[in-house]
A and B are shown apart, each in its own frame.
Chain A
Amino acid sequence: MNDLTSARAAVATRRCRDALILALFGASLALPAGSAHAAPATEQAARANPHADQAMLLGATRAGSRLVAVGDHGTIILSDDGGKTFRQARQVPVRAMLNAVSFADAKHGWAVGHRGVILATTDGGETWTLQRQDLDKDQPLFSVLFTDAQHGWACGLWSLLLRTDDGGKTWQNVSLPVPPGAKRADRNLYSLFADAKGGLFIAAEQGRVVHSRDGGANWDYLDTGYKGSLWAGAALADGTLLVGGLRGTVLRSTDGGASWARVEVHALSSITSISEWAGKVQLGALDGVSLISTDAARSFQLTQRPDRQPITAVVAHAQGSALFSKSGVLGAEPRGSEPAPGALK
């Protein structure tokens, strides 16, 4: 039975986030936090897995010339040959799903994920230590960004934003202002990115980009004009801002976020990842869709993998780009194919 098939039974048409909030509040009344349940298996160290490169992977980055990808069940894998072969990190203290990873330099890196987990490494990803977790709330972290080995940010569900100025020894909660037209700050924050001028951005829910021009002291909301979720964002080398979201949504700003224009990509697959390499911009999306631009994201060429593996991360490296998916590492170049009808408008 295909997992996707079963999703069909879900018929709710109200906003899913509302359902989650309702469920969460309902439950917190019914059950005292941290009740007598046995310690979850997720708090144990990740298992050694000879096929870790086939695990569900959700985030990836570069640490110097090394590729580092993170994912399901505390999986962290490393490659020193441009993504040809991967090996599992020697020591990961949790089994929670890891969603994102960021390195400040070749040695210092952080990975974040579910159960509020933040892991840190000082040896280029070989071994990791636990800096934070929050077992009381189901509030996952979706993204992490370190501008140097001391200063970093992590963000997640319901406007959860954390910062550190000591390399993660301590993490502080950052309160965001209430978004315009809302009662409280409860936007899901999906993807952190920074531009060359010190500007910080977070691609978020309801078409908003959360923004700080002063290194995180003050935050405001940029309106892209789009209504759906934005899952990915990047500041390109020329200063262009690019965000991607649901159903093939790609938005572009050349004025630091003041105004946004939609880029037509002729795809209905949600964008999960943005990467820039060798003058090209590459977007990874669900349904095996990959989009490549050679004109600074003004237009994109679409290819769809015949296996439709949902691409979750794209990372540039010396030889090109590496793709990661829900079924692990994908071949570097998706074999081009006729775009399937499902992916196209």
Chain B
Amino acid sequence: MLNPFSVDSVDQFLTRSLRALEGALFGIRRSLLAVLLVFTAVMGWFALQLHMDAGFEKQMPVGHEYIETFRTYRDDVLGANRITVVVKARQGTIWNAPALTRLYEVTQAVMFLPNVSRLGVQSLWTPNSFVNEITEDGFRAEPIIDGTVTPESLDAATIGNIQRATSQGGYVGTLVSRDQTSAMITAELNEIDAEGNKIDYVAYNHLLEEQIRSKFEDAGFEIQIIGFAKQIGDIADGAKGVLVFCAVALLLTALAVYWYCHSVRLTLLPVFCSLTSLIWQFGTLRLLGYGLDPLAVLVPFLVFAIGVSHGVQQINFIVREIALGKSTDEAARLSFSGLLVPGTLALVTAFVSFVTLVLIPIPMVRELAITASIGVAYKILTNLVMLPLAASLFHFTKDYAEKAMTKREKRAGWLRGLARLAEPRRAAGVLAVTAVIFGVSVWQSSDRVVGTLEPGAPELRQDARFNRDAVAISSSYDTGLDWLTVIFETTLPEACENTAIGAYQDEFVDAMQRVPGVMSISAFSSQLRTYSEGYNEGNPKMNVVPSDPGNYSGLAVEVGRMRGYMRKDCSMTAVHLFLTDHKAATINRVIDQVKAFRAAETLEGVSIRLAAGNAGVLAAVNDEVEISELPMMLYVYAAIVLLVFMVYRDFRAVIACCLPLTVGTFIGYWFMKELSIGLTVATLPVMVLAVGIGVDYAFYIYNRLQYHLAHGQPIVKAVEHAIMEVGMATIFTAITLAVGVATWAFSALKFQADMGKLLAFMFLVNLVMAMTALPALAVWLEKIFPRRGPVKAPGILDH
């Protein structure tokens, strides 16, 4: 029976098993590699069928109050799926024949797009744009552009009439920009077409570019397009661009590895092994029925980078052993058994980090967690088993190994300076500096940004065409880009005659109007007021919610003809709060005010539900991200503490490994705040992963440290040796990884750029912490808590 509490028996058992495993695997290495090759080919075939799969639904947290509201009423509220096309004259106003003709042509083109409900298209040219003229005999509805007018027949008088009607009908700010230099066309998209096919947003976006933008944009006119189809299409296109960055990162990594080992074969080995697991990962995704989400496309490449870093450790080991006179086969075997356990430990922490992502109840993130965990699990096979097996088939002369070793020794010369930081007085200095930096970063990182700051689509860059269009449209029209929809829900019968609901909502609108961050409000109750005024000759004194039930229900029928304000039976009526921006602070303030009103003023049978609209979805996502952050971090740290303690059986090791990581995490938060990178679905995984991957360096350094301590060296010497041995490989890996992910900073997608910058920074911070704070801490922990007995290095680490 194995006693799990006895270090020795566990070690012996593990060491024995390891040796047995090594013997078995290396014995059948050729057939094993052949099997893996066939497996790779099969997975590659599946991987090729993987396609980009954009999903709107997947981005929304499951079970969140706001999302439940959104789902319940998504077909009843505003603009779930609408496209807006703006024709802007580059010079002058739109009140001339060429501009109105262009508007006519674009309107026609939009009408004939697939999935567009033709009757729902609106512009100055469509018959559903008309002006009510109040006259002494009642009121008269006239189209803005008379049916008899054609683009050919536009003369000065006709254009004058159109301009007057537009102004009279209140279309300035809605169909025509406030400065009258552009005009708008809006259309609703049906996600499922007449034949029952679901819209392919990526393809649809290309159609918009082809049929609308490239056809009608020229020196005289600009075409601006916004809408969900455009947004997700642009994101998918941007995500495809990331392949280029990944290729660049791959090339950079390969060059760096070559510079490091001076062998083409050893360079290609870790790259190919990492690619292999990528192919497996893509194949598995396809088999599981997933697509590649444009928002998660970076993750496989992140896993790839992790793979390369472990591959480099293998190469480092093999070359060192060859230089010590071992044959390539022996060196590969030693590398396998020597690195299987620490490598697995490192990968397991990465695995745990990815698994904690499941805590965020957003399907897209969970999918990402599964994708990444599978990738990391495959890494254990490809980088810790397949790589040494393949390496053992190579033959390296001792000459090569010695040359490589000398070169590395030379390069490592300056590491001695670094290693001297471990001398107690210098170490104290390092710790003092670290403590100061820690304090400053904790202080500076308070009030971190949650969510995103810039207007428009947060996934895209500020200067992306979509966002420039979005800002241009929102600044010249009354339609806001960010809105929060509050639902008034009732179970009362005959709700359409219940004037108290309208009055209650009118009070709500009045209260919300003054909340900073609310730009304008469009609500069922405000529509009732507008209609009441309209039916009373435009008299402002009748701009009220009618308190007569019959009159109220009559006007409710009118409001019901418009999309987005109510259900026909008045069981749901909506208030759309247009916000100045979608900063988490703004959204939260508005939501808090809604909750305050809801608590202070109630109406029996009526409940106020938060919240649809893009701001509602954002608020829900921000909520989940904020709630998940702490538990995720705690789980990752718990895993690290557990693993470190299991391997080293020493609380000093736990502290020395974890404290520098914590400092690194807070420096990372400070970095985020300085660069205005918000905590989002994209950056939270990065921070958690940075801990999971950052601990690798600690593992490798502490591993050697323990070894030298066990061989009776004093702590300062042991630290120096450890740094000399693995410092180079660690620095090299960290810099290689950082350069690789830093290329993402050039991505067309903002969130990828943010992830790239943050991750590159975190790799470097963790490296610096592992090379300075960790050794200094180890030295002082040893001084403060002197050991009573000799240090035991577990046999499995004795390599």
Contacts and interface: CB of A to CB of B under 8 A. Distances in A.
B135 A38 contact: no
B132 A10 contact: yes
Interface stretch (B53-61, B170-178, B614-622): B170-178
A180 interface: no
A318 interface: no
Interface in A304-327: 310, 312, 326
B526 A3 contact: yes
B101 interface: no
Interface string B229-264: 000000000000000000000000000000000000
A42 B542 contact: no
B169 A8 contact: yes
A10 B160 contact: no
Contacts of B497: 27, 30-31
B542 A140 contact: yes
B164 interface: yes
A49 interface: yes
Interface stretch (A85-93, A227-235, A274-282): A227-235
Given A7-B132, A227-B136, A40 B500 contact: yes
Contact of A20 (B134, B507, B551): B551
A340 B167 contact: yes
B141 A28 contact: no
A9 interface: yes
B736 to A, nearest CB: 53
B136 A58 contact: no
Q: Which of B500, B529, B559 has the most CB of A within 10 A?
A: B500
A272 B540 contact: yes
Interface stretch (B325-333, B530-538, B758-766): B530-538
Contacts of B538: 270, 286
Contact of A40 (B168, B494, B499, B522): B499
Contacts, number: 195
B503 A42 contact: yes
B277 interface: no
Interface residues of A, number: 68
Contacts of B558: 9-10
A37 B499 contact: yes
B447 interface: no
Interface in B531-568: 531, 533-544, 546-554, 558-559, 561-562
Interface string B475-498: 000110000000000000010011
Given A23-B548, A23-B551, A115-B547, A1 B136 contact: no
B553 A27 contact: yes
B168 A342 contact: yes
B169 A5 contact: yes
Given A95-B507, A227-B137, A50 B541 contact: no
B349 interface: no
Looking at B138, B168, B541, the one whose CB has the most chain A CB atoms below 10 A away is B541
Nearest to A59: B541
Given A8-B131, A73-B507, A16 B478 contact: no
B204 interface: no
Given A30-B497, A38-B603, A341-B163, A8 B129 contact: yes
A138 B544 CA distance: 11
A337 interface: no
Interface string B745-784: 0000000000000000000000000000000000000000
B170 A5 contact: yes
Contacts of B507: 41-42, 73, 95
A3 B521 CA distance: 10
Given A10-B535, A38-B604, A227-B137, A27 B549 contact: yes
Contacts of B129: 8
B46 interface: no
A1 B541 contact: no
A11 interface: yes
A226 B484 CA distance: 47
B511 interface: yes
A19 interface: yes
B363 to A, nearest CB: 31
Contacts of B39: none
Given A27-B497, A247-B134, A40 B535 contact: no
B70 interface: no
Contact of B540 (A1, A115, A246, A326): A326
Contacts of A17: 536
A47 B169 contact: no
A4 interface: yes
B170 A31 contact: no
Contacts of B195: none
A312 B540 contact: yes
Given A326-B540, A342-B167, A72 B510 contact: yes
B274 to A, nearest CB: 53
Given A2-B478, A9-B558, A16 B536 contact: yes
A31 B549 contact: yes
B168 A16 contact: no
Interface in B588-605: 601, 603-605
Contacts of A138: 546-548, 551
A340 B500 CA distance: 40
Interface string A107-150: 00000001100000000000000000001011010100000000
Interface string B117-143: 000000000000111101111111100
Interface in A202-240: 226-229, 231
Contacts of B163: 341
Interface string B69-98: 000000000100000000000000000000
B504 interface: yes
Interface string B92-119: 0000000000000000000000000000
Contacts of B313: none
A12 interface: yes
Interface string A30-55: 11000001111110000101110000
B775 to A, nearest CB: 60
B527 interface: yes
Nearest to A97: B544
Contact of B137 (A15, A30, A140, A272): A15
B704 to A, nearest CB: 67
Given A2-B478, A13-B140, A246-B136, A27 B551 contact: yes
A8 B539 CA distance: 16
B514 interface: yes
A247 B132 CA distance: 13
A161 interface: no
A178 interface: no
Nearest to A231: B539
Interface of B: 78, 129-132, 134-141, 160, 163-164, 167-171, 173-175, 478-479, 494, 497-500, 503-504, 506-507, 510-511, 514, 522, 526-527, 529-531, 533-544, 546-554, 558-559, 561-562, 576, 601, 603-605
The 4 closest A-B pairs by CB, nearest first: A27-B550, A4-B170, A228-B136, A138-B548
17 contacts: A1-B479, A2-B173, A2-B174, A3-B527, A6-B531, A9-B562, A12-B138, A20-B536, A24-B548, A31-B494, A41-B504, A73-B510, A114-B547, A135-B547, A137-B548, A228-B136, A312-B540
Given A1-B522, A38-B500, A39-B500, 4 more contacts: A10-B534, A12-B139, A27-B551, A229-B537
Interface of A: 1-17, 19-20, 23-28, 30-31, 37-42, 47, 49-51, 56, 58, 72-73, 95, 97, 99, 114-115, 135, 137-138, 140, 142, 190, 226-229, 231, 246-247, 270, 272, 286, 310, 312, 326, 340-342
